[in-house]
A = this chain, B = another copy of it.
Amino acid sequence: MKLPDFFESDRAAIEAALDKFLPPVEIQPSSIHEAMRYSVFAGGKRLRPIMCVESARMFSDPPDAAIPAACTFEFIHTYSLIHDDLPALDNDDLRRGKPTCHKKFGEPIAILAGDALLTLAFETLAKSPIEPQRGIQIVSEVARAAGTVRGMIGGQVADLEAERRPIELLALEFIHRSKTAALIRTSIVAGAIAGGAEEQDVERLRSFGEYIGWAFQVVDDILDVEESSAALGKTAGKDQAQQKATYPALLGLERSREVATELAGKALSELDFYGARGDRLRQLGEFLVARRA
């Protein structure tokens, strides 16, 4: 399943902006800029930036003011993948079929490239052509979503600590909402803020983002199982091999699919208020749960 066609122009705008905000390889020291660019341009779908831009479009069209914020989420997402792949963490050699950052550039550069992308995320955010008050609000939202308290790093730590241990549903929810939903939710919140949304609209989209981000991770868990069992002779799913805490492991595949559908339903109902104005975000939400990869 492909992303709806009209998101292609968003993606093109985002690719161009990512290229603009990343330091060119010609600037010294080249190696770190090469590593940053290698990982950012390794072939992501740009889901978070597209969600940010489409959230902004609901309140100002064209949504150009949200482009720097949109890039921020791709930089943060990429940094988290680089660090996750390190030998001390998931120890992955390949990502999207290419050598991971540390396999390609060595561990020292990979650690620093992750750090640099997180730093660049905030530098980029500060370039947003929006009211400074809204800019600071987005800095705060992004930092919390990427942080340890119900944010991405907190979810990663809880996930690490849950490996090879029995886990309860509430703890699993905490991991999924922190590790994945927080950043997705915030890409939508930041878009709305950058687009000039009023507070009650921001809160409605926050709820949309929370549920769709949560559903996204449940679907990720499901795909990890289905993909591996579908492809005969392939090793078992990575989650299972690492004894990761997942919805299918806890609830089974069928119930996990139901949960994903329920969560997506809750998310999409938040868009009812907006009628046709919410169409693009609705289609994006539907794509996120129906995708097969």
> Chain A residues in contact with chain B, CB under 8 A?
23, 27-29, 31-33, 36, 79, 83, 86, 88-89, 106-109, 111-112, 114-116, 118-120, 122-123, 125-127, 131-133, 135-137, 139-140, 142-144, 146-149, 151, 153-154, 156-158, 160-161, 174
Contacts and interface: CB of A to CB of B under 8 A. Distances in A.
Given A143-B126, A148-B23, A114 B112 contact: no
B115 A88 contact: no
Nearest to A146: B119
Tell me if A's interface is mostly helix, strand, loop or mixed.
helix
Closest A-B pairs by Cβ, 6 of them: A123-B143, A88-B107, A132-B132, A126-B140, A29-B157, A132-B133
A157 B31 contact: yes
Q: How many copies of this protein are present in the complex? A: 2
Contacts of A36: 148
Contact of A119 (B116, B123, B153, B158): B153
Contacts of A23: 148-149
A212 B184 CA distance: 42
B116 A115 contact: no
Contacts of A127: 140
A126 to B, nearest CB: 4
A79 B118 CA distance: 12
A115 B114 contact: yes
Nearest to A80: B115
Contacts of A83: 111-112, 115
Given A36-B148, A119-B147, 13 more contacts: A32-B148, A83-B111, A88-B106, A88-B111, A89-B108, A108-B160, A115-B153, A118-B118, A118-B119, A123-B140, A127-B140, A132-B132, A139-B139
Contacts of A112: 83, 153, 156-157
Contacts of A149: 23, 27
B111 A111 contact: yes
A33 B148 contact: yes
A126 B136 contact: yes
Nearest to A159: B29
Contact of A122 (B29, B106, B139): B139
B29 A161 contact: yes
User: Which of A23, A27, A126, A133 has the largest count of B CB atoms less than 10 A from its CB?
Assistant: A126
30 contacts: A23-B149, A27-B148, A27-B149, A29-B148, A29-B158, A31-B157, A32-B157, A33-B148, A83-B112, A83-B115, A88-B107, A88-B108, A88-B111, A89-B108, A112-B156, A116-B148, A118-B119, A119-B146, A119-B148, A120-B147, A122-B139, A123-B139, A123-B144, A125-B139, A126-B140, A127-B140, A131-B132, A132-B136, A135-B135, A135-B136
